[in-house]
A and B are shown apart, each in its own frame.
Chain A
């Protein structure tokens, strides 16, 4: 595995980019060549897929829960301004402070100022995708503040100077032996004869972080949900590191994307059923903390909520693409994705890997770079992600839509990219069928509803500039052949 260079905070304050940001295909090619990485990923995702299917089957109203989850999120997004104002009011009246940040740089500056005012030089952090997106740790470091990641997988990533590769299990690309090596090298509390079994490794992390928790002055978290009518923030976790960060420090700062809002307390009955089963494949995760502002003599005395836009309102403006804002970051779509399983999380070049990353990152960052324009092509459109998504995000639909946008914004990239992607991801004979399917679907995206391709990317544009080319058939020959031959039997 090549160790990617650390993320750098984006100068314009949007989202950090990883790997010097090569496009998905070249990053994926490196990853696919790494057989250890692929074994680690296949092993992990196969196990979680089966477990998830079992706990989902247990609820015979899963589909109704899923539709309700989708409808609640859609309704909230359609009235986002009103619900944000309600949230602000309820958090404020519960004794919390609400800050608004247009982009990552603004959010980080607010946090840095708050921490400096507390005269703190470090903060304990519970797992938060939003702070990763904002590049908060790097921004804190530039200001002499140490961010201590306390989630086990985040700790593994931080100690290894590595990058997260999965939403739920950021160190999924590392196996026990690799983690054992890392801990023996970097953790002073590690016993000399530390074994590579998960319980011993976990105990080492506990010993390492204990003192940090007990003495922490400032805690930093994200939130899974923010409830508008009660001002409740909800953090769903497993290890208890979240509880430590949310409870023990005097000051708590929570980074929350503006799409994390839900209207009402009762909506938690839907999301607390959907999230744990989709995420860790459990009926309920070990710990959930819910708080509203500050409580009398219990937990932090000062609570700051930073509401972050950072490209979300731009995403909201895209009628098809906005459904990505319903995402509750469960990671089920990663675990079922054949492209993710082969390419790994780092290939996506952003904190959000897998199918959701392929539709979210280019929208949050905008498709101005070849890397972002290539992300919507990082899929075979098999549809497994849509099927498992607990809020029914039609990821294939969004991908096809964004491919069309990518063709417009990066005219010379997409055509070349998806063929080289196909070549890197799949070995023959699968490679051929895959490339044809991609080619056909990308063509459809360009053609959109017209059935004609109006303008092909260069060099073909020289030809289409003067005439309309017929769109490729919606089905490739090979797909048609295997289908019709199958039907004849």
Chain B
């Protein structure tokens, strides 16, 4: 017997014979879900965006509300002092219009090695979805977000969250995603509490997370 057959046989010995798929799906659908899929009123857009900003800031990320028209200036301010920025495909050119002349824009073409990425000072991205309840940003690594390594290796991550990205709760955020894509959920800068359970921000992931919330 292969390991697969044996494990399945042991499970059936413990549980009784496998049930029909339709029966299992019906039992699954009947699982009581009395929790609230929404903790916040999705009609109150301003409140939800404000809640996101507040909760993201709780993790000691830098969070700035910025009117759409002021984004280029806000981005330029945020990246001051960063010599080399990597910018994934799909980031609007307008965002980069006011970058300081000392800042070089690097593209991931051909794809940079991990060592090369390590020599980059920061990354500028958009996001797929954000969660107000938990102050979380979700990347699906599609347009304007880049492959996963781009937002992992450089030490500074500037992310633009538009108001319409913000979902009130975990449930509606997950429902907006395509599960076949890779995803990264980000709640604040990297952190550890492994020494005496005291929280220290900045371990292996970007030590600085800067979020611009634009209207």
Contacts and interface: CB of A to CB of B under 8 A. Distances in A.
Number of chain A interface residues as a range? 35 or more
Contact of B148 (A175, A268, A298): A298
B3 A238 contact: no
Given A289-B185, A292-B179, 20 more contacts: A43-B197, A61-B39, A64-B34, A68-B31, A78-B27, A80-B15, A81-B11, A82-B19, A102-B3, A175-B195, A176-B195, A202-B202, A214-B114, A214-B153, A227-B179, A238-B192, A272-B170, A287-B185, A289-B182, A299-B149
17 contacts: A48-B197, A79-B27, A100-B4, A239-B190, A243-B204, A244-B204, A248-B114, A269-B170, A270-B35, A284-B131, A289-B183, A292-B180, A299-B149, A309-B10, A316-B15, A317-B10, A317-B13
A51 to B, nearest CB: 9
Interface of A: 40, 43-44, 47-48, 59, 61, 64-65, 67-68, 71-72, 75, 77-82, 84-85, 94, 100-102, 106, 150-153, 156, 169, 171-172, 175-176, 179, 198-199, 201-203, 205-206, 209-210, 213-215, 227, 230, 232, 238-241, 243-244, 247-248, 258, 263-266, 268-270, 272-273, 280, 282-292, 295, 297-299, 307, 309, 313-314, 316-317, 322
A310 B191 CA distance: 33
B189 A286 contact: yes
B28 A264 contact: yes
Nearest to B193: A280
Given A64-B35, A202-B202, A289-B184, A44 B196 contact: yes
A297 to B, nearest CB: 6
Residue among B7, B33, B37, B194 facing the most chain A CB atoms (10 A cut-off):
B194
A77 B14 CA distance: 10
A317 B12 CA distance: 9
A202 B15 contact: no
Interface stretch (B42-50, B70-78, B98-106, B133-141): B133-141
Contact of A307 (B6, B7, B187): B7
A284 B194 contact: no
A67 B31 CA distance: 10
Contact of A244 (B55, B152, B170, B182): B152
A240 B21 contact: no
A295 B55 contact: no
A244 B15 CA distance: 39
Interface residues of B, number: 75
B97 interface: no
B174 interface: yes
B196 A79 contact: no
B32 A202 contact: no
A442 to B, nearest CB: 27
A317 B14 contact: yes
Residue among A79, A227, A273 facing the most chain B CB atoms (10 A cut-off):
A79
B147 interface: yes
Contact of A284 (B14, B39, B136, B180): B136
Nearest to A243: B152
B94 interface: no
Given A43-B196, A80-B11, A291 B203 contact: no
Contacts of B200: 198-199, 202
A214 B190 CA distance: 17
Nearest to B146: A298
A198 B196 contact: yes
A286 B58 CA distance: 12
Residue among A64, A100, A210, A247 facing the most chain B CB atoms (10 A cut-off):
A247
A68 B118 contact: no
A84 B8 contact: yes
Nearest to B207: A206
Interface in B160-206: 169-171, 174-175, 179-198, 200, 202-206
Contact of A151 (B34, B152, B189, B194): B194
Contacts of A199: 200, 202
B47 to A, nearest CB: 16
A199 B202 CA distance: 9
B28 to A, nearest CB: 6
A94 B182 CA distance: 11
A85 B6 CA distance: 13
B184 A198 contact: no
B24 interface: yes
B48 to A, nearest CB: 15
Contacts of B147: 297-299
B186 A286 contact: yes
Given A248-B149, A313-B14, A316-B11, A79 B32 contact: no
Interface in B45-95: 55, 58-59
Given A258-B7, A297-B147, A75 B183 contact: no
B3 A101 contact: yes
Nearest to A307: B7
Given A227-B179, A243-B148, A210 B118 contact: yes
A81 B15 contact: yes
Nearest first, the 5 closest Cβ-Cβ pairs linking A and B are: A240-B205, A313-B10, A240-B204, A230-B179, A239-B203
Contacts of A283: 55, 58, 133-135, 187
B35 A65 contact: yes
Given A40-B196, A61-B36, A152-B192, A286 B205 contact: yes
B191 to A, nearest CB: 5
